[in-house]
Amino acid sequence: MLVGADADPDDVRVPAPTRRTLLGAGLASVSVAAGLTACDAEAPAADTTPSPSPSGAVATDSASPSASAAATAPTIPDFDETDWESVRAQFPLDPAMAQFAAFVLSPHTAQVDAAIDFHRGRLALDTEGTLLEGFDLENAVRRAAADHSGGTAGQYALTDSTTMGIASMYGGLALSADDEVLSTTHDFFSTEDSLRLLTQRTGAQVTRVTLYDQPWEANVDEMVSRLVAGLTRRTKVVAVTWVHSSTGVRLPIKEISEAIDGRALLCVDGVHGFAAVDVDLPDLGCDFLSAGTHKWLFGPRGTGILWGRDWDPLTELIPSFSGPDEGARLSPGGYHAFEHRWALDQGFAFHQKVGRAAAVQRTVEQASRLKEGLTGAQGIRVVTPADPEVSAGIVCLDVEGLPPGNGVYELRQRGIVASATPYQRSYLRLGPSIVTTPEQVDTAVEAVAGLV
């Protein structure tokens, strides 16, 4: 029980830890998590079972070194970033299969796995001692995010997924029943349902516009003008998705932000554009953007970022354990799988070593090759626009007479891993990336054409 010197001795309530009691003056490098674990000082002594060290060695001495005395950095495997085969070899994926669904959930790189192993080993050796470094490790991740995607470290909140960031974005807005949110008919369930909850909570109305009739005909001017036509005097928020996982269409976020011109906050589900489009987030012009870092970045599974230009409009949905300021405040608290969260800096480092521009170019080149290869093929409709200005890595296909799930199964028999879009109107979906090759794209073209 936490009882201050001037506490009423009859008041047996446990005071909620304030940020001040958690952080303490001058304890900026001590994690909030440490503040919480300090409450457990009278907990029974830890089991003395030997734990593996980060290097894999087993410590048998009961006076084994604390985590802070152990190795201070993971051993990062080297690779040749100028050689795509060397880049691909960093993934543990089955080489017998062409992995066109790797973007759905990150197959970790060796670099990310090394960092996870390192943090896991330290947590195993001295959980409490390692948690003391939590603030510093989270700050290192925020700095790595800013190095990779622009802006400042403070503009990045850490989440566990795109969905957690989306919920924090729409759940943290102060709206009233007089306000409107302008959204679209193309968004993923995470946005749809967060907006439903926002309406339930605030009474604000959500209106939706359709930005294109046929995805393959989507273009910048029409998408911008259809969206802007939906703005009213009451619109306080515009809620959109950067790259539609239903069709592969990429929205012109910058042009949309220019057209909105500050009349409403622009909030974006950015997951299929993040690390798949070569742009710094501040240059997009939006106000908030949520993205899992376990898709196109190939960071640790169960990690993501919420980027905010200015955090003032958002109240925390979940109490933060990360600190009271900027992105730390909007990082949902509770203990996490910290070895994954702290390894995210190596996810950014890997992608930066490859080069964000080079990785995006490799992805787009293959996506274009796939679309070109299948355009005009009998019984195949390439659903995603050919123009890279309104598309990214996702390529959606309609195969005449074949349910997408059956297409996924058939392609797997031919050594190609694909997915089906999880929407009412479903398509067969392939996502070329840095783990696939142009030769595999050619094989996929043949295999898809053979499905008819």
Ligand X SMILES: Cc1ncc(COP(=O)(O)O)c(C=O)c1O
Site residues (vs ligand X, CB under 6 A): 161-163, 188, 190, 241, 245, 269, 271-272, 292, 304
Q: Which is nearer to ligand X, 162 or 322 (CB)?
A: 162
Of 188 and 338, CB closest to ligand X: 188
- Indicate the residue among 72 and 189 with the shorter CB distance to ligand X: 189
Rounded to 5°, angle at Cα 333 from 190 and 170: 30
For 181, the enclosing helix (H) or strand (E) is: strand 180-184
Question: Other C-beta atoms within 10 Å of 201: how many?
Answer: 12
CB closer to ligand X, 260 vs 276: 276
Q: Are 340 and 381 in contact (CB under 8 A)?
A: no
Residue with tokens 């330290």, as numbered in its chain: 122
State in angstroms the smallest separation of the CB of 165 from ligand X: 8
Residue nearer to ligand X on the CB measure, 304 or 347: 304
Q: What is the largest CA-CA distance in the chain?
A: 82
Question: Shortest distance, CB of residue 100 to ligand X, whole angstroms?
Answer: 15
Task: Decide whether 294 or 371 has the Cβ nearer to ligand X.
Answer: 294
Can you list the alpha helix ranges (DSSP code H) found in 31-100?
Answer: 32-38, 84-88
**Nearest residue (CB) to ligand X, 100 versus 188:** 188
What's the min distance (Å) between Cβ of 170 and ligand X?
A: 13
Beta carbon of residue 159, minimum distance to ligand X (angstroms, whole number): 8
Q: What is the CA radius of gyration of the chain?
A: 24
Of the pair 99, 163, the CB lying nearest ligand X is at: 163
Least distance (Å) from ligand X to the CB of residue 158? 13
Residue 20 C-beta: closest distance to ligand X, Å:
33
**Number of H helices and number of E strands within the chain?**
15, 15
Shortest distance in whole angstroms from residue 272 CB to ligand X:
6
Write down the least CB distance from residue 422 to ligand X, Å. 7
Residue found by looking up tokens 């959606």 in the block: 396
Cβ-based neighbours of 387, under 8 Å, separated by 6 or more: 219
The CA distance from 320 to 331, in Å, is 6
Residue 137 Cα to chain centre, angstroms: 18
Half-sphere exposure of 77 (CA within 13 A, CB side): 17
Amino acid (one-letter) located at 293: T
Nearer to ligand X among residue 300 and residue 308 (C-beta):
300
Closest CA to 407 of 382, 432, 427: 427
If DSSP codes are grouped into helix, strand and coil, which group holds residue 428? strand
**Whose structure tokens read 């051993």?**
75
Shortest distance, position 107 Cβ to ligand X, whole Å: 15
CA distance 389 to 261: 21
Q: What SS3 state is found at 25?
A: coil
Q: Are 317 and 171 in contact (CB under 8 A)?
A: yes
Nearer to ligand X by Cβ, of 269 and 398: the residue is 269
282 Cβ contact list (under 8 Å, min separation 6):
150, 151, 155, 309
Could you tell me the smallest distance in angstroms from the CB atom of residue 47 to ligand X? 35
